[in-house]
Amino acid sequence: MAAPPAAIELDGLTRRYGERVALDAVTLAVPAGATLVVFGPNGAGKSTLLRVLATLLRPHAGAVRILGRELPAEGWAVRGRIGLLTHEPLVYRDLSGRENLRFHARLHGVGFGRVEALLEQVGLHRRADDRVHTYSRGMVQRLAVCRAVLHDPAVLLLDEPRANLDPAAADLVEPLIGAESGRTRVVTSHDPAGGLAEADLALGLRGGRAALVGPAAAIEPAQIGALYR
Amino acid sequence: MSASAREHPTTAEPAPGGAPPEPRLVPLRAAVRALLRKELGLELRAPQAVPAMALFSVTTLVVFHFALQRGQVEGDLAAGVLWVTLLFAAMLGISRLFVADHEEGGLDGFLLAPTDRTALLVAKAVGLFAFLAAVEVIAVPAFALLLLGPAPGIGTYAQLVALLLLADAGIAVIGTLIGAIAVQTRARDLIVPLMALPLLIPVVIAGAKGTTPLLAEASGSGLPLRWPLLLGLYDLIFGLLAYALFDYLIED
């Protein structure tokens, strides 16, 4: 049986901020439906990688293909199939949770039925008409998860997605952003054991370079821990 | 993405046979409606730009009332006072235009959406135009009350409104461009007047020249046609310029 096609392909991806190299010749491929977990200390380039894959940042060298489309030239063609969850929830504090999701639903051409279903699924339906600035951090994170998966993306880019979530809330969002969602996922993590447990592939970044890359099953948590020392 | 996005129909169906999936694209008009609804909704929910601009306008007119040491002004002086007041009030609105989007990540949220970036330019410019018009509903009567001599007739007001709306369109387009640049800098409140005021000098000239005969007590002449035409031409040129540049300003 043929291997599934790669949903994400990086070949020598390099990204700089001025003189500083944030990503340095990163090369890897993520098959469709697989989970890549990215490890690395703060400033290693994890968030930059996610922003390049989300089409928010241009690569300065190398090739990036998502769902068979070349970035940045064909970024417009894949935006509707990428979901991004970052440390910033990307919602307006003076709008309610429902208003925020309806705004993003309109921008993605998604019906409001999906908004209501997601609010119910993550347990926000009772507070959906309250302004976001009255929400706890965990509630904002749940709302951000709804925003990220609202348009049923094929590729999910998740920057420490369970931050601010208690175990019960993490369970609520798991069907949406976990492995069982069936999406191709790129997840950043600082938890070697937990991250490797959910990964098919692992990438360890250090100073923007791929210090470690390969199948998660072949990588030990101690190797991940070494990235941080 | 501007041009290419418009060439493809909206679809949500994946392509068969392992080929790259068909793009999902949201039409420009739908995106503009969504953005404008959000823009006006935010201003109604948590008013910031319009109250600040209106309060600034009225306060400035009160200061002019006392500083000029006269109860009434007319002609070119009246036109100058009105246009300077409105222009500086507009700077406040331009400075605030992208702040919520920048600070709360709304700009990234929009950039992730499968739609033409021009939608943001149109929505922001229309929003700013609406804010300017709302401020003028307060500022022009305040100007008439505090500084103007005998009240002009309805016809004069109608011509003044036409001139103001043409000027507002130009200010809205330039303001959206400058606001998008300034919000990415730390010195936003400095950058806006430094960049916008020189670009808006033609608007002030045409607006003030056109308004002078309308506010001249002795003049029986109406609005000279060349000034609204000049404003219309300015709006057209900078509208096209903004359309060409905006993608590059908001994308990486």
In a domain, B113, yes or no: yes
Reported for B238-242, long-range contacts at CB under 8 A and 24+ positions apart, including other chains, are B238/B170, B238/B173, B238/B174, B238/B177, B238/B199, B239/B169, B239/B173, B241/B177, B242/B121, B242/B125, B242/B173, B242/B174, B242/B176, B242/B177
From its phi and psi, is residue B218 left (phi > 0), alpha (psi between -120 and 50) or beta? alpha
Give the pLDDT of residue B220. Answer: 59
In a domain, A176, yes or no: yes
Range of the domain at A155: 6-227
Of A142-146, B15-19, B103-107, B113-117, least confident by mean pLDDT is B15-19
Work out the pLDDT band at B148, boundaries 50, 70, 90: confident
In a domain, B150, yes or no: yes
Give the pLDDT of residue A206. Answer: 94
**Rounded-to-integer distance, Cα B106 and Cα A89, Å:** 9
Of A3-17, A42-56, B131-145, least confident by mean pLDDT is A3-17
Task: For B161-201, write each residue's pLDDT tens digit.
Answer: 999 999 999 999 999 999 999 988 888 889 999 999 999 99
In a domain, A180, yes or no: yes
Q: Are B75 and B212 in contact (CB under 8 A)?
A: yes
Q: With contacts defined as CB-CB under 8 Å, which chain A residues touch B21?
A: 67-68, 78, 81, 154
Look at residue B122 and tell me whether its pLDDT is greater than 70: yes
User: N- to C-terminal Cα distance for chain A?
Assistant: 41
CB contact under 8 A, B110 and A5: no
In a domain, B209, yes or no: yes
Say whether residue A197 is in contact with chain B using an 8 A CB cutoff: no
CB contact under 8 A, A55 and B23: no
User: Tokens representing A91?
Assistant: 């919602």
Interface of A with B in 162-191 (CB under 8 A): none
Task: For A94-120, write each residue's pLDDT tens digit.
Answer: 999 999 999 999 999 999 999 999 999
Instruction: Report in angstroms the alpha-carbon separations of A11 from A14, A70, B9, B144, B151.
Output: 9, 11, 31, 67, 72
A193 min Cα distance to partner chain B (Å)? 31
Look at residue A62 and tell me whether its pLDDT is greater than 60: yes
| Prediction pTM value | 0.90
CATH number of the domain that residue A155 is part of: 3.40.50.300
Range of the domain at B182: 26-250
Q: Tell me the pLDDT of chain B averaged across its residues.
A: 88
Give the pLDDT of residue A163. Answer: 86
Looking up tokens 């339906």 gives A125
How many folded domains does chain A comprise?
1
Note the ipTM here: 0.92
| Pairing of the two strands A155-159 and A184-188 | parallel
From its phi and psi, is residue A5 left (phi > 0), alpha (psi between -120 and 50) or beta? beta
In a domain, B32, yes or no: yes
How many folded domains does chain B comprise?
1
**Rounded-to-integer distance, Cα B33 and Cα B28, Å:** 9
pLDDT above 70 coverage of chain A, percent? 98
Mapped onto helix, strand or coil, the DSSP state of residue A191 is: coil
For residue B16, say if its preceding peptide bond is cis, omega within 30 degrees of 0.
no
| Pairing of the two strands A61-66 and A6-17 | antiparallel
